[in-house]
Amino acid sequence: MNNLTTGDIVNRVWNYAHVLRDEGVGYGDYVEQLTYLIFLKMSSERAEGGKEGESLAAERWAKLIELDGSDLEMEYRHTLESLGSQKGTLGMIFRKAQNKIQDPSKLERLISMINKESWSSLSIDVKGEIYEGLLQKGAESEKKGAGQYFTPRPIIEAIVDVMQPKPMQKIADPACGTGGFLTVAHDYVAFDIDRATGERTPKALTKKENRFLKNEAISGNDISDSVARLCAMNLYLHGIGAEECPISTSDALAKEVGSNKVDMVLANPPFGKKSSVTIINDSTGKLEKEKLTYTREDFWAETSNKQLNFVQHIGNMLRVDGKDSGKAAVVLPDNVLFEGGAGETIRKELLTRFNLHTILRLPTGIFYAQGVKANVLFFDAKPASKEAWTKSVWVYDYRTNVHKTLKTNKLAWSDFKEFIELYKADDQKARVATWAEVQEADGGPGPDGRWREYSYDEIIARDKTNLDIKWLKDESLEDTENLQPPAVIASEIVELLTAALEEFKSVEEALVEEDED
């Protein structure tokens, strides 16, 4: 396996998914089952190398490779139950784990395939890349599985590149999914990375910094047990959290942050406006008609919109310490920028309590959920003040006249090179707009006019403090000569129709399950 590229290894392991698919094992479940088995094999290898604390998993693996038929299936089930009762990362990975491979012969073939390889001989980075490659294939293949919580890697890398996490900083994601933001942030601190080639060189961190990075710097939370399990394994394969699991499973919005503040939050909270609860910021009980409510004294407005509540929650997660306070980058759908009522209140508070200095408008066609329009909000925590901390908001419009798809014109890190350069992470006061009024007077800004500054007074004067700001002429609406080539249009239509058919299929399957129940 050592002579193969990461892509070769991902494809080799992924090919078996098609066999399991015939047995009704979804791609998301397949990645999950691989998680268990590869981890057991790695534990066995580490135990053979004399590493302490690996004996239980190693013993279980030794039994699995000797059995077949119903005995193998029974032993595998007992193995999952036993490991799920353990503490730390091991317990998180196997928490509530179930065997989804009902055919013992296929389980035996999968175990045999994994057992032939020496996983511990691979570097931490390669193992993590293999695992993330499998997660991405799951997202691509199953829109309603991994795709629900998989953020495109180029977006994550661009965000981390401008946020520049540093040694000894605490970095968190309250809706961590499979851990994409956390692993990329970890790698940014640990390596000098050439995004164009993928080459990485270890940074000269001190022992204290390395120990902190592996055991204290990274933390995440997800409401789903199965997703948190995937994340825990992802982090483990990146060498994160070996001593104590950095991932928790809970509803992040259910309780106040308290004193556990962090230096940086990187997140893409789940899309979808409504929640099963409404957040209230007092105990008056005026929303008693709700079956379940949260009381959050630290929230600025009450709403059942999940994204708006995550904005408030993330703001409260950030450490406030003078000039060196915490900062956040959050991927959010368009409705957060213009929704009235609580949305307007929250935007005004965000502008006042924090320095909301940057908005990145993302193109459509880049998420596995079709038609999503999203943005990245960048804001810094600040101490209490009577005056608004936000003096101006810089907007980079990488949506207007940008056409991206999941297959024919994929998003790449290079697409964000201009944004990263214009962001001026080291000195935001040195920012220079690429749009100017004189350009508009001469017939409109050119293709480089995507970067524009709006003063606080201009923002606050907009109806409902609307942050959904557009100024570039949309050529697709006004210039038919600039239409995409027919092949590209046809490909986009096929993607949309395929997604719609998948949605109909999932509804049909749900109805069948209800009838069977």
308 contact partners, CB below 8 Å, separation of at least 6: 301, 336, 339, 342, 343, 346
Q: Are 290 and 275 in contact (CB under 8 A)?
A: no
Residues 431, 425: Cα–Cα separation, whole Å: 9
Residues 429 and 286 in one domain: yes
pLDDT score, position 236: 80
Give residue 37's pLDDT: 86
In a domain, 483, yes or no: no
Domain co-membership, 132 together with 260: no
**180 within a domain of the structure (yes/no):** no
- In this structure, the chain runs to a length of 517
Partners of 452 in beta bridges: 395
Confidence of residue 144 (pLDDT cuts 50, 70, 90): very low
Neighbours of 477 (CB within 10 A): 9
pLDDT in tens, 365-386: 887 666 778 999 999 999 999 8
Task: Assign 265 to helix, strand or coil.
Answer: strand
User: Model pTM?
Assistant: 0.81
Nearest partner of 151 among 396, 329, 366, 307, judged by Cα: 366
Asked if 317 contacts 265 with a C-beta cutoff of 8 angstroms, the reply is yes
- End position of a domain, from candidates 445, 468, 491: 468
257 and 136 assigned to the same domain = no
The span from the CA of 349 to the CA of 406, in Å, is 36
Domain boundary among 146, 166, 195: 146
Judgement on whether residues 274 and 411 belong to the same structural domain of the protein: yes
Residue 102 included in any domain? yes
Within-domain flag for 419: yes
How many Å apart are CA 140 and CA 147, to the nearest integer?
7
Does any domain span residue 391? yes
The answer to whether position 93 is within a domain reads: yes
Decide which of 101, 126, 146 is a domain's last residue: 146
89 and 54 Cβ atoms separated by less than 8 Å = no
Report whether pLDDT(289) > 50: no
Q: How far apart are CA 214 and CA 217, in angstroms?
A: 7
Residue 220 pLDDT: 95
Is 485 a member of any domain? no
Q: Find the CATH number of the domain harbouring 263.
A: 3.40.50.150
Q: Is the pLDDT of residue 484 over 90?
A: no
Within 8 A by CB and 6+ apart from 451, the residues are 394, 395, 396, 418, 419, 422, 431, 433, 434, 435
Predicted pLDDT at 118? 78
> At 274, is the pLDDT very low, low, confident or very high (cuts 50, 70, 90)?
low
Q: In whole angstroms, how far apart are CA 423 and each of 174, 314, 398, 401?
A: 25, 22, 13, 21
Residue closest to 76 by CA, chosen among 40, 113, 27? 40
145, 144, 146, 27: which is closest to 503 by C-alpha?
Answer: 144
Is the domain of 17 the same as that of 131?
yes
284 and 410 in a common domain = yes
Give yes or no for residue 272 having a pLDDT over 70: no
What is the predicted pLDDT for the residue at 499?
Answer: 59
- Per-residue pLDDT at 431: 96
Residue 307 covered by a domain: yes
The pLDDT of residue 165: 98
What CATH number has the domain bearing residue 100? 1.20.1260.30
For residue range 294-321, list pLDDT tens digits in order: 568 899 998 888 899 999 999 999 999 8
| Same domain, residue pair 127 and 269 | no
Q: How many domains does the chain fold into? A: 2
**What is the pLDDT, as a whole number, of residue 395?**
98
Once rounded to an integer, what is the mean pLDDT over residues 460-472? 95
**Segments forming the whole domain that contains residue 438:** 251-468
Residue pLDDT, tens place only, 388-447:
999 999 999 999 999 888 778 889 999 999 999 999 999 999 999 998 765 555 555 555
- Beta bridge mates, 318: 262
How many whole angstroms separate alpha carbon 342 and alpha carbon 80? 45
Residues 6+ apart with CB under 8 A from 378: 162, 163, 327, 328, 329, 356, 357, 358, 359, 360
